[in-house]
Structure 1
Amino acid sequence: MKVGPVLRRAIARVTALALLPASIAGITAISASAKPAADPGCLTGPVKHVIYLVFDNTHFMRDNPSVPSDLEQMPHLLNFLTSNGTLMTNDHTILISHTAGGILSSLTGLYPDRQGQTVSNNYFYFDPAHNPQFSTSFKYWTDLVDDSTGTRDPLPNMVFDGQKNTPAPWVPFTRAGCDFGGVSTANIELENIGTGPFGDMSEAFGTGSPEWTDAVVSNAAPSGTPLRAKAFTDYVGIAIHCANGGGICTSNATNTTNSRPDKLPDEPGGYLGYQALYGAKYVDPAITGGNACVNDTEGQPVTDPFGRCGFPGFDGALAKNTLGYVAQMQEAGVPVTYAYISDAHDNHMSSFPAPFNPNFPRASGPGEADYKAQLKAYDDAFAAFFDRLASDGIDKSNTLFVVTADEGDHYAGGAGISQPDGSLAYAHTNCSWTTTPACPSNQIGEVNYNIKAKLPAGTPTFSVHRDSAPAFWVNGQPARTDPTLRKMERDVGALNAIDPYVSSSPTPIFLRLADTVGEKALHMVNTDSARTPSFTAFGNPDYFVTDVNPSCGSNPCIDYHFAWSHGDIQPEIATNWLGLVGPGVKNLGIDSQTWTDHTNVRSTTLALAGLRDDYVNDGRVLIEAIETKALPQSLIAHRATLLRLGDAYEQVNAAFGQFGTDLLIASTRALNSTDETQYESIESSISDLTGQRDNLAAQIRAALNAAAFDDQAINEQQAKAWIAQAKSLLDQASALAAG
């Protein structure tokens, strides 16, 4: 059969290719490999498999009261979680509440000050000349802050206690003899095809290797072409960290040849001799019996936008693609899989590495037809996924399912207009104004605001993390009390503008402010002092604050391309959900009462799997959701006191706990003050309370970790004393907030 004439536009060629049968398009669809043994043998307790899934910006709460939430529109997933386990809907993210920080806190059980991503998804750092330099949160686990030269900041991007590299989340599993698969999840697979001295390709494969050369060629190719995408498709986003003894990396000669050293030089206890498979080029044949493609949940090959088998891109991590990879890994004997699923409210079809599309990106509003269709496709993917796993003997009787999201969102837009098909329609056009906005009632999009153009003359030069909660790095890295910096903070705090979704008159842009003192209370200061922002402003979440003129017209104006805001402090952003199903998990349905956050995911997962980390987690084991028979005696003794201690610990230590919330209010009053004596008094109080909190939190977390993993029951009298200390700190923080 002949394919029609060559189409002029690359995107049309991709579309045409997608419409052809797989065999004609040069792709061979494959069937699932043989079913695995129900017990892979590396986990010794009731849990034999671990499946961790993290969504990007997927909501349990409704964004529009009349439109079912994301989870409500995925009933196969929602019912699986609530009918078989516990869905905790009073979960919380961290600050800054973005994809990288949220995912990495749940992977490590650490707040950002101990895993490194205190501002994400990108950040600045001060070089030796005290000028801000750009970096990104999304890098492979061992990459440096300055991965170009290694000289401007030689510390790890994932920086831990003592300025060491944060311990890697796969280590307890691989040490136990389990292969560990990663699909599109932050920093556990290669994140880029950099070929500089510290780029991902150089670190994983070595400068001058064939893979490195592939990346050099791809990086030199024109954007939006198959060659530009090739190395990205082959090597990024998919990985298997192989078990102690070799695991799948040494299961045959081909895998042995394709594996590379899994280097973790700072790992506590050492990590020598371990191997990994990096990239779909090597993982796909390893888990399919030699085929080049992995199938999605619809039975079609997972490909990039040009039809090449392999990683579909981070935005292309649709449920059908991610779940297809997870199922294939599990069937190939990889019993631990950590995977990411893209959000459903954005159109991802033209994301990198696809050809340029002038209409991309495009956000959808609650109830919009394409948003509903995407959620329906996600639900279908979960239905197929659960059926497939069940036929493999992988189910709630032997598998721990951990399902969550990185953070919530604030929808920036008006009310949709009802359509005959039951969907809602939105105005996908920019809206700008000179004096009074005249945006349609169903306008969609964030309010873009160039802050540099609005600050007065004499404002020092700065770099800003573009966000609804922008962090500022001021050139010269001035001291906190520098008069010029203090004036800039007040000027930022006083800014007003028109937000058409709120009023036709100017209203405040920023609601809260924190400098380095307040940031420390919120776990936003890590052991690399060069990365600490001069200050951070938490805004009205309708805004996207930048340092360049908006592309939508006036300043401010509404850009319809983006409508889902996060990073900020509002409840719809901060509040999240966590689903647990599997051996030892209570069947509680929906638990809306237990206050928890991302750091508790790690401890809870390891406790149920019968493993432990080689460091002390910031989180705690969620005994509220675990059957008594699955807990050690040390987590059963003094249960009532242990629960009270856990709650007190959360409220005094979590970024969105009461302590942090109150100190942020006090910090805002300090930074806005023109009375420097008042400013110093409040800052001194915040610093003192934070120091006391840090000391108390260190003691409590050590005791909670010992109870969970060392069979050391808490001392009840000591625990009650800690609870009293926490209450005192909460009372003092509340009083400081009240002024």
Structure 2
Amino acid sequence: MKASLCRKLTNLVAIASVVAAAVAAGPPTTASATTGGCQLGNQAGAIKHVIYLQFDNTHYMRDRPDVASDLQQMPHLLNFLTSNGTLFTNDHTILISHTAGGIVSTQTGLYPDRHGLGVSNSYFYFPPSKTPAFSSAFKYWTDLVDDNTGVNDPLSNMITDGQKTTPAPWVPFTRTGCDFGAVSLANIELENTGTGPFGDMSEAFGTGSPEWNAAVASNAAPSGTAARAKALTDYVGIAVHCAQGGGICTQNAQNVANSRADQLPDEPGSYLGYLALYGAKYVNPAINNGSACVSNTEGQPVTDPFGQCGFPGFDGAFAKNTLGYLAQMQESGIPITWGYISDAHDNHTSAFPAPFNPNFPRASGPGEADYVGQLKAYDDAFAAFFNRLKADGIDQSNTLFMVTVDEGDQFAGGIGIPQTDGTLGYRHANCSWTTAPACPSNQVGEVNLNLRLKVPAGSPTFSVHSDSAPTFYVNGQPDRTDPTLRKLERDLFGLNSIDPYVSTDPGPVFVQMADPIAEKALHFVTTDPARTPSFTGFADPNYFLTAANTGPSCGSNPCIDYHFAWSHGDMQPVIANTWMGLVGPGIQKGGIDSTTWTDHTNVRPTMLAALGLHDDYVLDGRVLIEALTTQATPQSLIAHRETLRRLGDVYEQVNAPFGEFGLSTLTASSNAIKSGSAADDSNYTNVENQIGSLAGERDALAAQIRTALNAAAFDGAPLNEQQAKDWINQAQGLIDQAKQLAASS
């Protein structure tokens, strides 16, 4: 209690001193004064603006052969990327492949074991009682795992090496004098209206503040009302992290009054004296001449479902809303703007915080009318966005554009029936059966299966992060070799059920499985041991697997729930494979690049290299020299370019979760887990020990390679060609050993 009180008093003193200093210094009077200090070093100052767009579950590849893909149905975006830059279509996500973890890997250039979100969008952890406790992965950057009391797990949700809070992605920009605006992206704006000791409202504004009191009142209002939504609308999902010296936060007296300390106590090199604007209530007037509203690309105010100006909700981050906000931020003099765009394949009618509707939100199938209409609206929004920016003098000649997606999806559904308007029709109703499928051919929805009701009596008690790739947390946190845990793994791996989209006969529910040794090899074991899952299953991706005491709610066990049909989290190529586009000064006009193997962690180092900036930590990703012109490539990366390219390729195959090494260790772990018996588990022990040994060698080698690649990219350190060739051989040797182990296990 004393430590908590001391922290709050320290925060209040810091806020007061920073604001007082800003007032004493005198605010700038124009937008140009706000942006004039923003120095982006590469390309001789050609890059003046940065726009990063993060889609949710939006596809380059077709989900049905006869239906154009998401990007094909947004030609204004697709043509912009392929005509002016390079669209990488052999990009990959991370494991577990969900929104929070995928976005944060893109934002930070780190794999989940080094940014903290090994499992998302929520996870369990083991408190001192060893009974699994729930936590959301979506929290503000500095929040704790246990953000209710801080006792059950006092470590940061975003945790990195040394159990410190992961370095924040906006820091290199604000340190170089650039304001940084964000809309709806993971954990860089407030994520909730929590008013507990460590809730977002308490941390940002302070317990007892007017904002905190407003959130208390809003949270107490009836669900599905404007009053209940008000705090979310006002304070969540939108933020500006202001430049060193104050930036837009000190542009006028109102902004000074609305600013709060931007606190990053673990940031390398310190981060004192910085300010931020949290929420539309304070961002909107700062970027729109004092107005309480910001307009979308159609010229209409961005509102919540009740017509209140402000954050529209995470499911309401439609292209027109996010792009409208980013354009307004750029026009107000904020040169760095990052934004999230909701998926188009779900019908977000009545999405939170709207009143409950049992029929919506719900999934749509490929080619369905509302899905097609949503993509058309997205394409129109991009056309308006690019035209508006061009009129502002913001285009590919002076702006770095980065556009990507968090992960792919498996469509769990049948074949749509052609409609008279050229779209496809699907059945939107739950479907139950007992021994044989009884669903129509155009059924849509994930196959829900409750695992708790399928395991043998006497199995240990466990919780799962419900998913097509569920992570299991067994009560008591037993060692991975515990006989009862091992029996549970074998029982689950042997589970068969009917997936009506595949066969009328029962088939295996799980296709792969990983214990903590393999989880570590796949980069989702963090430095917080309380969060490590007992094991993880990777299922047939049509499934959504739960472990409640009753259910599923759609009927029999299993049954189809039509509300959700786009499955991810899993390890199949349709989920793993993503895309990433780059446009701007120094970016190759390469059109579509379908051969370069890349993943989310490479976006940040490539962006920083193009901008002449650097982080104060070693990135897991590499600079994609395939994306940069020779003039934009750091000089130390030009020498020995071919060796560097080979090193980058093999580094990813040995280190990335979806690289050859990672997938081979997953196969080996799966074979080991389903082997053995209570009487003899020697094969499991032997194989997992070999995986652990190989992963240890891999980690040591990857650390050397990434350190050298970072030094070459950002410190001008020349790459030793002979050393690089030795690393290439070592990495290939580890890949070959992992493949051999997978084949022989």
Q: Which amino acid aligns with 2:338?
A: Y
What is the aligned counterpart of 1:553 among 552, 555, 568? 555
CA distance in 1, matches of 2:536, 2:31: 53
Matched, 1:484 2:484: yes
CA distance in 2, matches of 1:104, 1:632: 25
- Pairs within 5 Å for 1:191-270: 191-270=191-270
State the Cα distance separating 1:42 from its structure 2 match. 2.9
- Pairs within 5 Å for 1:81-96: 81-96=81-96
Q: Is the 8 A contact 1:280 1:310 kept in 2?
A: yes
Range moving further from structure 2, 377-386 or 354-363: 354-363
- Pairs within 5 Å for 1:377-526: 377-526=377-526
Instruction: Report what 2:22 is aligned to.
Output: none
State the Cα distance separating 1:437 from its structure 2 match. 1.2
* 3-state SS of paired residue (2:671): helix
State the Cα distance separating 1:218 from its structure 2 match. 0.4
Matched, 1:42 2:47: no
Instruction: Report what 1:654 is aligned to.
Output: 656
CA distance in 1, matches of 2:286, 2:38: 19
Matched, 1:710 2:715: yes
What is the aligned counterpart of 1:593 among 592, 595, 608? 595
State the Cα distance separating 1:43 from its structure 2 match. 2.1
Q: Which amino acid aligns with 2:613?
A: L
* 3-state SS of paired residue (2:614): coil
CA distance in 2, matches of 1:83, 1:436: 50
Instruction: Report what 1:680 is aligned to.
Output: 685
Instruction: Report what 1:10 is aligned to.
Output: none
Q: Is the 8 A contact 1:181 1:337 kept in 2?
A: yes
Change (3 A) 1:38 1:287: closer
5+ residue gaps in structure 2? 1-29
Deviations 1:330-377 (A, max 9, x none): 000000011000000001121111111111121000000000000000
Instruction: Report what 2:345 is aligned to.
Output: 345
* 3-state SS of paired residue (1:315): helix
State the Cα distance separating 1:129 from its structure 2 match. 1.7
Instruction: Report what 1:637 is aligned to.
Output: 639
State the Cα distance separating 1:414 from its structure 2 match. 0.4
* 3-state SS of paired residue (1:623): coil
Q: Which amino acid aligns with 2:554?
A: C
CA distance in 1, matches of 2:483, 2:38: 63
* 3-state SS of paired residue (1:472): strand
CA distance in 2, matches of 1:301, 1:46: 33
* 3-state SS of paired residue (2:631): helix
Q: Which amino acid aligns with 1:315?
A: D
Instruction: Report what 2:731 is aligned to.
Output: 726
* 3-state SS of paired residue (1:449): strand
Instruction: Report what 1:609 is aligned to.
Output: 611
Q: Is the 8 A contact 2:35 2:335 kept in 1?
A: no
Q: Which amino acid aligns with 2:39?
A: C
Change (3 A) 1:444 1:36: farther
Change (3 A) 1:720 1:677: same
Q: Is the 8 A contact 1:35 1:331 kept in 2?
A: no
CA distance in 2, matches of 1:374, 1:171: 35
Instruction: Report what 2:282 is aligned to.
Output: 282
5+ residue gaps in structure 1? 1-32
Q: Which amino acid aligns with 1:716?
A: E
* 3-state SS of paired residue (1:648): helix
Instruction: Report what 1:190 is aligned to.
Output: 190
Q: Which amino acid aligns with 1:423?
A: T
Q: How does the TM-score come out when normalised to structure 2?
A: 0.94
What is the percent sequence identity of the aligned residues?
Answer: 73
CA distance in 2, matches of 1:110, 1:243: 24
Q: Is the 8 A contact 2:54 2:405 kept in 1?
A: yes
Deviations 1:637-683 (A, max 9, x none): 00000000000000000000000000100000110011411111101
Instruction: Report what 2:51 is aligned to.
Output: 51
Matched, 1:569 2:566: no
Instruction: Report what 1:366 is aligned to.
Output: 366
CA distance in 2, matches of 1:453, 1:508: 16
Instruction: Report what 1:113 is aligned to.
Output: 113
CA distance in 2, matches of 1:62, 1:372: 13
* 3-state SS of paired residue (2:649): helix
Q: Is the 8 A contact 2:35 2:334 kept in 1?
A: no
CA distance in 2, matches of 1:664, 1:378: 38
Q: Is the 8 A contact 1:38 1:393 kept in 2?
A: no
Deviations 1:22-56 (A, max 9, x none): xxxxxxxxxxx999999774324321111000000
Change (3 A) 1:727 1:689: same
Q: Is the 8 A contact 2:35 2:179 kept in 1?
A: no
Q: Which amino acid aligns with 2:410?
A: H
* 3-state SS of paired residue (2:730): helix
What is the aligned counterpart of 1:623 among 622, 625, 637? 625
Q: Is the 8 A contact 1:586 1:626 kept in 2?
A: yes
CA distance in 2, matches of 1:589, 1:726: 31
Deviations 1:486-541 (A, max 9, x none): 00000010000000001111000000010100100000111000000000000000
Range moving further from structure 2, 342-351 or 100-109: 342-351
Instruction: Report what 2:17 is aligned to.
Output: none
CA distance in 2, matches of 1:567, 1:678: 28
Matched, 1:273 2:270: no
Q: Which amino acid aligns with 1:52?
A: Y
CA distance in 2, matches of 1:509, 1:236: 39
Instruction: Report what 2:740 is aligned to.
Output: 735
* 3-state SS of paired residue (2:50): strand
Instruction: Report what 2:26 is aligned to.
Output: none
Q: Is the 8 A contact 2:34 2:247 kept in 1?
A: no
CA distance in 2, matches of 1:565, 1:446: 7
State the Cα distance separating 1:130 from its structure 2 match. 1.3
CA distance in 1, matches of 2:129, 2:162: 23
- Count of matched residue pairs: 707
CA distance in 2, matches of 1:88, 1:651: 17
Instruction: Report what 2:6 is aligned to.
Output: none
State the Cα distance separating 1:380 from its structure 2 match. 0.1
Q: Is the 8 A contact 1:123 1:135 kept in 2?
A: yes
Range moving further from structure 2, 433-442 or 55-64: 433-442
Report the aligned-residue RMSD: 1.1
Q: Is the 8 A contact 1:39 1:48 kept in 2?
A: no
- Pairs within 5 Å for 1:52-67: 52-67=52-67
State the Cα distance separating 1:720 from its structure 2 match. 0.1
State the Cα distance separating 1:429 from its structure 2 match. 1.0
CA distance in 2, matches of 1:35, 1:420: 54
Q: How does the TM-score come out when normalised to structure 1?
A: 0.95
Change (3 A) 1:503 1:36: farther
CA distance in 2, matches of 1:337, 1:624: 25
Q: Is the 8 A contact 1:316 1:349 kept in 2?
A: no
Q: Which amino acid aligns with 1:438?
A: A
CA distance in 2, matches of 1:161, 1:511: 32
